[in-house]
Amino acid sequence: MLSLERQEEILEILNRNKSATVDYLAKELYVSGATIRRDLKAMEEQGMIIRSHGGAMPFKSSSVETSFAVREQKDASAKRKMATLAVRLIKNGDSVFADSSTTTGYVMSLLKDFTNLTVTTTGIRNATILSSTDRIKTYIAGGLVANHSNSITGTDTMDYISRIHADISILSCTGLSLEGGFNDASIEQAKLKQQMRKNSSKVAMLVDSSKFDKTFMCHDFWFDDVDYFITEKIPPEKYLKAIRGSGCKLITPEENGD
């Protein structure tokens, strides 16, 4: 069994039993305790579980809003810095795609002074943020509300996005690596972002440095698939080399004199 398949099995067991010990998981999956501990460490780093003494439990908030609030506050300073840079790419009269990420939410909160702006989003909270102003026309894509999430996904959502064109997409992701590019843990989220890219004139990816060197299951894009890469500080040299060779424009506070 491949590690990703085993981790899916582990998550299913944890969701079913609410928690499980390393010994129990090892017996259920016919592997060593050391293998289970490596899997649990990787899953915790991806935000899928919470490890406890001798075992683990699934990471689930008691409500969607609480779960979203936790993610919203994570790396908040970096997200604010990126948002102030990303908003400069948007002009009055633009049509904008916005995903459901908390990072994109920080950008949405800066749009209140724009006029004649149209935003289509797959994020429930992001649509709520935009609804507080009379100057922005906001559309939320229809579809399935993902459990324990702020997002709307599914084939209906894909169909809705496919019928719209945007001047720019403002997107984020779960991980970034040279091997996996921009990536996510959810295939539904990856497909939605790919559709937004396909239907956009420009694409901006906002990724804070805590997501570097992390590869999740689903590939979104490579550097040369996007127009702008926004992060809160100058990336390591290996990323700079990849960015320079891709034609993607790097935007950081240092690069912009902020």
> CATH code at 232?
3.40.50.1360
d(CA 82, CA 132) in angstroms, rounded, equals 22
Are 50 and 95 in a shared domain? Answer: no
Tally of domains in the chain? 2
pLDDT digits (tens, 9 = 90+) for 130-146: 988 888 999 999 999 87
More confident residue, 75 or 68: 75
Are 93 and 139 in a shared domain? Answer: yes
Are 124 and 38 in a shared domain? Answer: no
Are 148 and 221 in a shared domain? Answer: yes
Are 126 and 211 in a shared domain? Answer: yes
* The predicted structure's pLDDT at residue 65: 36
* The predicted structure's pLDDT at residue 29: 93
Domain end (from 37, 58, 79)? 58
* The predicted structure's pLDDT at residue 61: 40
User: Residue 223 domain-assigned?
Assistant: yes
* The predicted structure's pLDDT at residue 60: 54
pLDDT over 70 (residue 115) = yes
Mean predicted lDDT score pLDDT of the chain? 88
* The predicted structure's pLDDT at residue 122: 96
Residue 53 pLDDT level (bands cut at 50, 70, 90): confident
d(CA 235, CA 221) in angstroms, rounded, equals 18
Residue 49 pLDDT level (bands cut at 50, 70, 90): confident
Q: Which residues of 165-203 are buried (b: 16+ CB within 10 A; e: fewer)?
A: ebbbbbbbbbbbeeebbbbbbbebbbbbbbbbbebbebb
Residue 41 pLDDT level (bands cut at 50, 70, 90): confident
pLDDT over 80 (residue 194) = yes
Domain end (from 11, 31, 58)? 58
User: Residue 63 domain-assigned?
Assistant: no
d(CA 67, CA 245) in angstroms, rounded, equals 38
* The predicted structure's pLDDT at residue 62: 37
Are 50 and 127 in a shared domain? Answer: no
pLDDT over 50 (residue 68) = no
Are 54 and 127 in a shared domain? Answer: no
d(CA 82, CA 84) in angstroms, rounded, equals 6
Residue 53's domain spans which residues?
A: 3-58
Are 117 and 186 in a shared domain? Answer: yes
d(CA 56, CA 118) in angstroms, rounded, equals 44
